[in-house]
C-alpha cells in the first residue's frame, strides 16, 4: 500500500527508523475489529452515514485478508519497534490504511469518536484476551503431565536434597506433585490478571471523559466489539481516566507471566541437574534425546529443550521489568509508555503456548528414571540418619554420621556393619522406622526361639 507523502504513516516511517520487532498481527487484527465496532456505533448515533460505515467495514474486511508477514502486509502496516508514545503511530497507520481503501478521511471518518489514548490500550487488551486461552490450555497440559508422572512413579524413593546436600529421601511422586502445584498457582494468577483486562477504556477518547464522543458511545462501541470478537464480559471502564493514565492490569499480566517464567526456570533447573551426566553427573533421570548437543564432541546429548525454555523465560522476566518501569512513567492524564511493552506482551502471549508444549511434549512426555542409579543414590544418602534422631537423639546420631564418613562408607552400610540392631529399625523404601521391640515382646520372642530349638 502506498501512503501519501504527507500522511502520518509516511512521516513516521521517515523519522523513526530505530527498528525493533514488528507489530504483532494479532494486535493489528484487534485494532481492525475495534475500528469496525466504532464505525457501527457511530452509525447508530448518526455520526457516520450508512455509505461511509459500509465503506469502512468493507475496507477492514479487505485488510484482514492480507496474509501476515507477506510483502503486502509489511507495506500496509508499517509501524513497529520503537515509535512515538501512546500508540498514536499504530492508530493512525490503521486509520490511514482503512481510509485509503474506503476513500474516506482518516481522522474525521475512521477515527470518529476515538483517540489513540483509548483505542490503543483497548486493542492491546483485546489481543491479550484472545491469546490467553491457548496459554491456559497448554499450561493445563503441563500440569496434567506432571500429575500423571506422580501417579506412575508413586512409591519410588528419590534422594532428598537441600542446600545441594543430602536430605531425607522422599517419594518421587512428591517432586512431580510439587511442580504441578506450582504451575496451578501460576495458572490461577494468569486467570486473575486476565479478568481485569475485560474492563476497557474505549470511548474515553483523549482524557477518559468521553469528550467528542456521543453520550452512550462507550457502551454501544463495546457491545459491538463484544459481538464482533465473540468475547463475553467486556465492559466500559469503571473510572474513565484510570485505564488511560495507568496500564496496571497489563503490567499485572506481564508480572503473572514472569512468575510462570521464574517457576519454569526452577523446575527446569532441577530436571537438568537430575539428568546431568550421563557418567559424571547425577543421572537419575533420562530426558528425551532430541538432537546432537555438540559440533565437536561426538555422542553428546544436551537438555536442549529445557535450555530453550530457560532462554524464553528470561525474556519474559525482562518484559515484566519493562512493564513495571513503563507503568511508573505515566504523567497526569496519560501513560504514553504502553508501546514500550504492549507489543512485546502480545508477542510473549503468542509464544507461550509453543514454549509450554515444548516442555510438555518434548520433555515431560518422555522423561524416564534410571532406577538402578536412583536406588543407589537413595541407599547412599546420609540422611537416613534423620529417622533415628527421635529415638536416639541428635548428638548421638550425628556422631554416627561422622564415623561413617571417616570410614568412607555410606551411613546405611556403616550402620549395618556397626549397629545392625539399629539399622534394622529403618524400613528402606518407606521413609519410616520400625518401633523397637518392648521388653515383653523381646522375652516372648526369646522363649519362642528356645522352644523351636
DSSP letters of 281-305? S---EE----SB--SSSTT-B--HH
CA distance 41 to 340: 30
Strands 157-162 and 432-433 come out as unpaired
Catalytic positions: 163, 294
CA distance 172 to 188: 25
Residue from 383, 411, 412 nearest 161 by CA = 383
Query: 287, 275 in Cβ contact below 8 A?
Result: yes
Cell of 5: 507523502
CA 306 from centre of chain: 14
Q: Is 160 in a helix, a strand, or coil? A: strand
CA distance 236 to 224: 12
CA distance 57 to 63: 10
Q: Is 404 in a helix, a strand, or coil? A: helix
CA distance 245 to 223: 23
Cα R_g (the chain), whole angstroms: 31
Tell me 47's DSSP state: S
Residue 218, CA distances (Å) to 36, 168, 235, 319, 369 in order: 14, 61, 9, 31, 58
Tell me 1's DSSP state: -
Query: 120, 94 in Cβ contact below 8 A?
Result: no
Residue from 171, 2, 158 nearest 78 by CA = 2
Tell me 180's DSSP state: H
Cis upstream peptide for 278 (omega within 30°): yes
CA distance 172 to 68: 46
Amino acid at each position: 500500500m502506498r501512503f501519501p507523502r504527507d500522511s502520518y504513516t509516511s512521516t513516521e516511517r521517515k523519522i523513526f527508523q530505530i527498528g525493533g520487532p514488528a507489530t504483532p498481527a494479532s494486535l493489528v487484527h484487534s485494532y481492525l475489529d475495534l475500528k469496525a465496532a466504532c464505525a457501527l456505533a457511530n452509525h447508530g448515533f448518526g455520526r457516520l452515514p450508512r455509505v461511509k460505515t459500509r465503506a469502512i467495514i468493507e475496507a477492514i474486511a479487505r485488510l484482514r485478508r492480507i496474509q501476515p508477514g507477506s510483502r503486502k502486509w509489511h507495506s500496509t502496516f508499517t509501524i513497529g519497534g520503537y515509535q512515538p508514545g501512546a500508540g498514536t503511530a499504530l492508530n493512525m497507520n490503521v486509520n490511514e490504511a482503512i481510509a485509503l481503501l474506503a476513500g474516506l478521511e482518516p481522522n474525521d471518518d475512521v477515527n470518529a469518536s476515538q483517540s489513540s489514548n483509548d483505542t490503543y490500550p483497548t486493542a492491546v487488551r483485546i489481543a491479550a484476551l484472545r491469546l490467553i486461552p491457548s496459554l491456559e490450555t497448554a499450561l493445563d497440559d503441563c500440569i496434567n503431565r506432571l500429575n500423571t508422572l506422580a501417579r506412575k512413579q508413586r512409591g519410588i524413593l528419590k534422594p532428598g536434597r537441600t542446600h545441594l546436600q543430602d536430605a531425607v529421601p522422599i517419594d518421587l511422586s512428591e517432586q512431580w506433585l510439587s511442580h504441578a502445584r506450582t504451575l496451578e498457582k501460576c495458572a490461577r494468577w494468569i486467570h486473575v490478571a486476565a479478568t481485569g483486562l475485560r474492563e476497557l477504556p474505549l470511548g474515553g477518547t483523549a482524557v477518559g471523559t468521553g469528550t467528542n464522543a456521543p453520550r452512550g458511545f462507550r457502551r454501544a462501541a463495546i457491545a459491538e466489539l463484544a459481538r464482533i470478537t465473540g468475547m463475553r464480559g467486556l465492559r466500559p471502564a469503571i473510572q474513565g481516566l484510570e485505564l488511560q493514565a495507568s496500564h496496571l492490569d497489563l503490567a499485572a499480566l506481564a508480572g503473572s507471566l514472569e512468575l510462570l517464567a521464574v517457576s519454569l526456570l526452577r523446575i527446569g533447573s532441577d530436571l537438568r541437574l537430575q539428568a546431568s551426566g550421563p557418567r559424571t553427573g547425577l543421572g537419575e533421570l533420562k530426558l528425551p534425546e532430541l538432537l546432537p548437543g555438540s559440533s565437536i564432541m561426538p555422542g553428546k546429548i544436551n537438555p536442549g529443550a529445557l535450555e530453550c525454555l530457560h532462554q524464553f523465560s528470561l525474556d519474559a522476566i525482562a518484559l515484566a521489568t519493562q512493564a513495571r518501569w513503563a507503568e511508573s512513567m505515566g504523567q497526569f492524564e496519560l501513560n504514553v509508555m504502553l508501546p514500550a511493552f504492549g507489543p512485546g506482551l502480545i508477542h510473549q502471549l503468542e509464544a507461550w503456548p509453543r514454549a509450554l508444549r515444548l516442555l510438555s511434549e518434548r520433555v515431560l512426555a518422555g522423561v524416564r528414571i534410571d532406577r538402578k542409579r536412583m536406588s543407589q543414590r537413595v541407599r547412599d544418602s546420609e540422611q537416613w540418619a534423620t529417622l533415628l534422631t527421635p529415638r536416639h537423639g541428635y548428638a548421638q546420631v550425628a556422631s554416627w554420621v561422622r564415623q561413617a564418613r571417616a570410614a568412607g562408607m555410606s551411613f546405611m552400610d556403616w550402620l549395618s556393619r556397626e549397629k545392625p540392631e539399629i539399622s534394622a529399625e529403618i524400613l528402606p523404601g518407606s521413609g519410616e522406622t520400625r518401633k523397637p521391640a518392648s521388653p515383653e515382646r523381646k522375652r516372648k520372642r526369646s522363649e519362642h526361639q528356645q522352644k523351636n530349638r
